[in-house]
Amino acid sequence: ELKTKWRSSVYKHFEEPKIIQGPNGVIIHRFVCRKNPSKHIDRVDYEESTGNLTRHRSLCEPDDIPEVAMITAYARGTAYSPARVRYLLAMWCARRHRPFTIVDDPEFQELLCMLYAKVELPSRVTLSRDVQMITLDGKIRVIAFLSSLPGKIHICVDGWTSPNVLSFLGVTAHWHRDGAIEHIILDFIRLTNGHTGKYLAEKLVECLTEYGIQKKVLAVTLDNADNNTTMLKEMHSLVKELRGPKARVRCFGHVLNLVVKAIMSMFMRKPKTKGDAGVQADANEDPDLAALDDPEDVDEDDLEAEQEADQAREDADDALLDDMAINNVDVALTPEKIKEGRLAVEKVTKLSKKVWNSPAVRAALATLTHEVPDINSEVLVRSVATRWNTVAAVIERALELQEVLSDLCDMAQFNKPRGVRLRRFILIEEDWTLLDQLHRLLDPFVYSTNEISHSSRGLVHEVIPFMDLLTEHVDEFIADETLHPAVRGAAKRGRAILDKYYTLTDTTTVYRIAMMLHPRYKTQYFKDQSWPDEWITEAREIIEEEWTSNYKPKEDAPAAAEIPIAPVPASRSGPGRRSAAASANTRKRFAAIGSAAKGGRADALKIYLEEPPSDTVSDPLKYWDLVLKSTPESSGQHALAQMAIDFLSAPATSTDAERAFSRGRLTVSRLRHSLADESVRANTVLGSWARIADLLPEADLIEVVRQHSAGKKRAADVEQPAPNGAKAGDHLLKSLKKARDMAQKQRVLFEEFSSTFEPNVVQEWSRLVEVWCVDPSSVADPFEEPQANIRCTQVHLQFAQEEANIAALRDLPQLDMTPSTFIEVGLDLEELQRSIRAKASLQHSDKDLVDLLQQRNSLRRRIYLWAETQHIYMPAVVQLRIQTNTALPMLPDDVVPVETPEDENTDIVNPEDLALWLPSSVPLALRIGDFTQRLADLERRLRLAQIDDSLSDIRRVQRMLKGISDFKRLHVSGTGNRANMKSRTVYAKFLRKRTLSADRYRSAYRALLSLDPDGAWRTTFRELLDSHLTGPGSGQKGPGEGSREISWIWLVQCQDNVDDPDEMRQYNDSMRAEWARTKARAERWEEEAELLVEEMRRVLAFFEHEADWWSGIVDRRAKFPLRVPTPFDIIDGVRAYAHRQADARCSLMVNFARLWIPRLREYSIDAGWAARYEGFLSAPRAPMSRDEPGGPSEPEDPASESDEDDS
């Protein structure tokens, strides 16, 4: 904690201080010098002076003399970076609310040019775009940061209208990290429609979804506007994880504001607007109060405060105060007493404005205060009508200046007819007494507002204690009959508002859970405050429900083994069986003693609540943060600590959202009303994000600016006029990079795919492809794939052989259905359920409905017959069905008729929805005994076959779908609706087949996860998502077959097929075509890269040839003179034109060589022709000299050269 207060830079010169024991038990901090570790400075722990440390640093690092400093600076050179200049300017404007036009100020430009003469300053438009670009990149980082937070996130929401009449919804995000609360402005949401609850909910959920936190938000802090309740309900309907009104936190600052408004309504008249200032006083208005008014009383500050306030919220507050009917208080009040209170308060508030707005009055007051030694202030505080805390500050300052204010008001120069006339504001003794009482009434509210408005202090667990203390405070004022009746009546009004919002804390769970998770409070606080027992019980039930539903680890839940084993059915019970059951129940009663002795895991929340409160814990977040970091993640204490941090970190006020509007008000000042909504948003949120040190790394953002600048520069270069072929340089280079990257990617995919097969198989396939490429008629097409599906048949045959062996050993259960048959029938029933569910989801005719009904009845009968065997093989399933509410419904006479009505209003569950409870569905703790393990092993083996068969079916159907789609595109499209409809029907039929196969695969996958979670099968099979159902080879990441990527479903080897040559051969034949296509894709991109390198060579050779041709035209004209005599200037112009064309070709050749050859080296591409052009990489480019033999002479007049070129 001491280190947090050390802000001097001198500490950087020393290592981390060591704590040592000094004489007489004194604690000493030893600072070891980094430069000379043999030297150190000692300082006792209660001192904070840095004098000795500073003197040591000055001796250790003496300042250089001017000459040495200049040489050192010259040797280091400049650290100038154009991208960093743009980044710093953007952050400067965003964080410090500077206008973009500041870069156009001549003085600012001169200042930077003085520091670095070649500085490049962006324009104001570029600066605005940089801010938005950095904000866009920063948003990606904010999303990643918020998603990495382990706990919940809270938001504060408030509305605001900017000075340029743009309506926004400000959203701030709050979270806990390392024992502290952090927050940012999440976004400024532009509002364009009416602020209804539904519209606000849609916009807010859209914002939360953009940032990926729609499921991480816990508490939502809002003011008391009517549409907020509707908004929370709509948000819950849109995202179920958002808890709606149950997680609402009412802004406690707004509640305090309402309480004080109710108190001050006793002493304040309704404020006048600017239009009312010159209107004559109402005839019913008291003349003494009217005498205090002036036509100019409404100043610009009051009007600006009214504009900044949310008018809808202010109207709601006023309506609430009227609806509370709090004027009928139990305190004897007369109009004279109310008038006395209003006169006293209005005198002091209006006097404060006169003093504040008049320099002469302020100077006179300062002179008077200097004459009284006990007064430390020189001026009254200025009051603002819409800010109650300024009224409290005015009263406090007036009480401090009480001794001199009467003298000030009685001065003759301030009581002239056309002056400020201060004598009417003189306060008598009774006025001062009333103001003192009112100040004592308001002071706790001022303190509470200051404490709760701090970002790191205003947390939700403090609200109820604050409200309890404030309620006790106003009760004392109500009961004190020595106070002025107006003060007591005001306290009664405040108590009514406190009672209303204290009651509203019961509508949400956040307050009570946070209170009980404070180690100093727990439930003892409620008992100390004399809460009824039923309230405390309800609070405890709320926290236990939250703990059990969302935080309690699974290990802390009652073990599945505690579920009692089902007794034998009653139909088979006898006296002996009843006696055995009674003995089992007796043992069960005393089982808790043994389980406790064996160290069963206790409930962490129960232990915490039963322990006494800890009075030593002042900061609950630091306490729980320590618990969180010191306990295993799987423990109950760790989960409880996370729950406590989630609830205790909820903000109690929306002050941070209102501060966001203050940032927006600074951004959109009176001189910047032309800012667009995107500029307002970018400036505001970027300045907030930059406060989190590790959220926006400077180096990364500078690189973003640099790349953006380089991209713009390249775009500008491309847009400039250039000779034909000038754009070929970048185009070929980009194409080569793409070809190289795709070649590497497809080669990796191909090698990964090839590694799943035996080397001899891959060699044979390679030979087939090579032979087929030479003569397609000599071998079978390697791209056609045969199909086979015999796995399940072989497994069933194997099971039958095993059952025969078991029967021979007389180990077969004495039942009609063997264990393997029992599992096989169970899987068949599961498949029938899938099929009927798929049919039930379609639209049916009357005949289809009859068929569906018959199939359901048949399935129900089979399930009931199968369940009879299941109750014998797996007796625990009976009790499991009862406890999980999945018991099979009993029909009349325990018989399932063929024609059972399936009316939607009956309670009979459809047979396709009945739980079968195969061994994989039974909890692991209930799979006890050798016979149950045997059943589980039988299911595991069948599931392995099922998952492989399902994947094979998915592959086959995918190939069929691709064939149907290609056929439709080539032969059906454009032939009429009938053919199209028919092809669509066929396509939809195969889609349903694929869905069934995918569902079967997922069922097998889930079963294997339960039966054999760490088995070798997981290295082959993966979780199947809808996005994986592509292929063969689809991916659609680029046009054409070469850009396709193979899905993992085509990379899977068959299970258990190595020992079966026939099965292995069938599998290899089925995957040979896909292997050939993958190989072709890899080779296609490698050939593409080779062709592009060759194209680069041809381009350079072409430009070299063109340059030589244009250069040789001069010699050719000399050898073959023109038949018609031509003036010398025309000949000279032709030679100049030929030379310029040659120079342009030569320039292109040199530029392309410089662009391509370094990249060829970087890509490790061996291009033999590159050696011919490597000389251009180091030597500067020079056009062909005009002094060479045969070269043209320099024209004397540049203008004539230009004219000749134009001609």
Tokens of residue 725, six digits? 């072929």
**Confidence band (pLDDT; 50, 70, 90) for 279?**
very low
209-240 residue pLDDT tens = 999 999 999 999 998 877 889 999 999 999 99
Query: In the CATH scheme, what is the code of domain 3-75?
Result: 2.40.50
Residue 580 has pLDDT above 50, yes or no: no
DSSP label at residue 548: I
On whether the CB atoms of residues 518 and 648 are closer than 8 A, the answer is yes
pLDDT: is 1055 or 155 the higher one? 155
- Report the distance separating Cα 511 and Cα 463, nearest Å: 8
- Report the distance separating Cα 131 and Cα 390, nearest Å: 37
963: number of CA atoms within 13 Å, CB side?
Answer: 10
Tokens of residue 601, six digits? 């895991």
pLDDT: is 494 or 1079 the higher one? 494
SS3 content of the chain, % helix, strand, coil (to 5): 65, 5, 30
- Report the distance separating Cα 305 and Cα 258, nearest Å: 17
- Report the distance separating Cα 186 and Cα 212, nearest Å: 12
| Tokens 């808790």, located at residue | 592
Task: Output Rg (C-alpha) for the chain, integer angstroms.
Answer: 43
On whether the CB atoms of residues 337 and 381 are closer than 8 A, the answer is no
Least confident of 677-691, 843-857, 963-977, 1049-1063: 1049-1063
> Average pLDDT in the 32-53 region?
87
DSSP label at residue 563: S
Residue 563 has pLDDT above 60, yes or no: no
Q: Which residues are registered as beta bridge partners of 183? A: 174
Residue 1096 has pLDDT above 60, yes or no: yes
> Average pLDDT in the 517-538 region?
92
**List of residues 6+ apart from 830 with CB closer than 8 A:** 916, 918, 1003
> Average pLDDT in the 1100-1107 region?
88
**Confidence band (pLDDT; 50, 70, 90) for 1067?**
low
Residue 476 has pLDDT above 90, yes or no: yes
**Most confident listed range (399-403, 674-678, 1124-1128):** 399-403
Tell me whether the omega of the peptide bond preceding residue 721 falls within 30 degrees of 0, making it cis. Answer: no
pLDDT of residue 484: 92
> Average pLDDT in the 590-617 region?
71
- Report the distance separating Cα 361 and Cα 415, nearest Å: 11
pLDDT: is 438 or 1059 the higher one? 438
Neighbours of 533 (CB within 10 A): 9
What rounded mean pLDDT belongs to the chain? 77
DSSP alpha helix (H) spans, 590-635? 591-597, 604-610, 620-630
**Residue 908 vs residues 794, 850, 1144: alpha-carbon distances, Å:** 38, 18, 87
In 3D space, the residue among 757, 777, 797, 795 whose CA is nearest the CA of residue 1070 turns out to be 757
- The region, left, alpha or beta by phi > 0 then psi within -120 to 50, assigned to residue 710 is alpha
- Report the distance separating Cα 341 and Cα 15, nearest Å: 63
CA torsion 649-654-656-660 (nearest 10°) is 150
**Most confident listed range (310-319, 706-715, 753-762, 1120-1129):** 753-762
pTM (two decimals): 0.55
- Report the distance separating Cα 1049 and Cα 955, nearest Å: 8
> Average pLDDT in the 921-949 region?
83
Q: Which residues are registered as beta bridge partners of 33? A: 14
DSSP string spanning 966-987?
Answer: HHIIIIITTS-HHHHHHHHHHH
DSSP label at residue 224: S
Neighbours of 877 (CB within 10 A): 23
pLDDT: is 1031 or 1015 the higher one? 1015
Q: What percentage of the chain carries pLDDT values higher than 70?
A: 73
784: number of CA atoms within 13 Å, CB side?
Answer: 6
Residue 460 has pLDDT above 50, yes or no: yes
**Confidence band (pLDDT; 50, 70, 90) for 269?**
confident
Residue 257 has pLDDT above 70, yes or no: yes
**Residue 335 vs residues 137, 288, 292, 332, 720: alpha-carbon distances, Å:** 64, 13, 18, 10, 84
pLDDT of residue 25: 78
Q: What percentage of the chain carries pLDDT values higher than 90?
A: 22
Residue 1041's Cα: distance from chain center in Å? Answer: 37
Domain spans in the chain, listed from the N-terminal domain onward: 3-75, 86-251+654-717, 293-459+469-497, 508-557+601-651, 813-917, 1094-1206
**Confidence band (pLDDT; 50, 70, 90) for 972?**
low
Instruction: For the chain, count helices (H), then strands (E).
Output: 41, 8
Residue 952's Cα: distance from chain center in Å? Answer: 39
**Confidence band (pLDDT; 50, 70, 90) for 1019?**
confident
pLDDT of residue 595: 42
> Average pLDDT in the 619-637 region?
92
Least confident of 242-251, 281-290, 478-487: 281-290
